[in-house]
Amino acid sequence: MSISNIPAGIHNFNAGPSVLPHTVFEQAAQAILDYNGSGLSILELGHRTSAFEAVMAEARSLVKALMNLDEAHEVLFLHGGATTQFMQVPMNLLDDKETAAYTDTGVWGAKAIKEAKLFGKAEVVCSSRESNYTYIPKDFAVPNDARYLHITTNNTIYGTQWQTIPHTSNVLVADMSSDILSRVLDFNRFDLIYAGAQKNIGAAGVNLVVVNRNILGRIKRPIPTIMDYRNHIREGSMLNTPPVFAVYVCLLTLRWLKAQGGVAVMEQLNNAKATLLYDTLDSLPIFRGTVNKEDRSKMNAVFVMDDPALETAFLDVCKAAGIVGIKGHRSVGGFRASMYNALSLDSVTVLTGLMKDFAQRRG
């Protein structure tokens, strides 16, 4: 289960864009010089060629298989990032007079709420904002007539994650940008899933969207051609020139993920990494986790020290050891260790070793 994919000496804990398997980098670089022996770079390959159509078809099919999607769930690769989807979701699903239910569990959820209000009513059914988003609300009700319920399954900045997906009779929409394909879920319970690729599935510049086609086409608003999911379904994500290379990097990452054993194996690896990190954190009083233990994210571990001078000193220690991207987001401070699929257990072992050593010397 140990995966060696880190360039010698570097441990990339970036929150996104973030670490990808080293084999993906090697194959992507090769494809830029010569795609499959064609004499052409993947960057100059026409998207209407059988070569690229095969890339798109395989990427789609791998997502379907890895997520165990049923026949009604369509897989799209679209330009943009999750921020684009904050707009595109209500544009497609929410009529002017209708209400959508949103959970306010972090900055990204709050941004999604802001965009929804441009298209209809956005009712915030729960919020942990008053505590700087340190927990996932457990007790809330969703109006029966809400057109959909929107959740952010993992909150990258704060380090919280929905451990159980809320049961709802409403259409369920999820921003899974920072934990897609990292754990086993019944993905068919979701009617729409979107994820910027740059954390678990590829490089920045493409969105994965999984949508139950039965929820589409129910609103009165005319939708711009490029924003209407139905057009992208019909055209197989080739309504316009797709982000060819970004889709190809997704394909390489998905192939790697399948070769590792799929989502269940990723979940085991991610559990092992998170357990090691949080157990270390809880054993060292000099460090302090910032969120409710039961809501801790397995993707992004956020922790602080009470003395800013010590934080600076530990950042220096990390830097000297080749650890990248460990500095916390400005809205929380301290540290954030992002442990996406492609981050190895070895990298977490290096980090926790430094934490223990630092605590012994300075604690």
User: DSSP character for 150?
Assistant: E
Cβ-based nearer residue to a copy of itself, 166 or 202: 202
Tell me whether residue 224 or residue 285 sits nearer to a copy of itself (CB atom): 224
Residue of 2, 130, 222, 285 that binds a copy of itself (CB under 8 A): 222
Toward a copy of itself, which CB reaches closer, 193 or 203? 203
Which burial class, exposed, middle or buried, applies to 227 when counting CB atoms under 10 A from its CB (0-12, 13-18, 19+)? middle
**Residue among 104, 162, 175, 191 flagged as catalytic:** 175
Strand stretches in 80-135, DSSP E: 99-104, 121-127
If phi over 0 gives left and psi between -120 and 50 gives alpha, with beta otherwise, what is residue 124? beta
Rounded to whole angstroms, the Cα distance separating 110 from 98 reads 19
108 is catalytic: yes
Site for a copy of itself in 249-288 (CB under 8 A): 249
- The residue from 244, 266, 351, 355 that contacts a copy of itself (CB under 8 A) is 244
The answer to whether residue 321 forms part of the interface with a copy of itself (CB under 8 A) is no
Burial class (CB in 10 A: 0-12, 13-18, 19+), 310: middle
Cα dihedral 156, 159, 164, 170, rounded to 10, equals: -40
Q: Is 363 helix (H, G, I), strand (E, B) or coil?
A: coil
Tell me which residues in 23-52 interact with a copy of itself (CB under 8 A). Answer: 24-26, 28-30, 32-34, 39-41, 43-47
Of positions 56, 66, 81, 211, contacts a copy of itself by CB under 8 A: 81
Min dist CB 103 to a copy of itself, Å, is 19
CA dihedral 179, 182, 188, 192 (to 10 degrees): 20
Q: Is 96 a catalytic residue?
A: no
Least Cα distance to 149 among 128, 123, 127 occurs for: 123
Q: Binding of a copy of itself at residue 332 (CB under 8 A)?
A: no
Residues 6+ away with beta carbon under 8 Å from 288? 281, 303, 304, 305, 306
Stretch that binds a copy of itself, among 22-30, 67-75, 151-159, 297-305 (CB under 8 A): 22-30
- What are the residue numbers of the active site? 108, 175, 199
Residues found near a copy of itself in the complex (CB under 8 A): 7-10, 12, 14-20, 24-26, 28-30, 32-34, 39-41, 43-47, 79-84, 86-87, 91, 111, 114-115, 118, 196, 198, 203-206, 222, 224-227, 239-246, 249, 322, 324-325
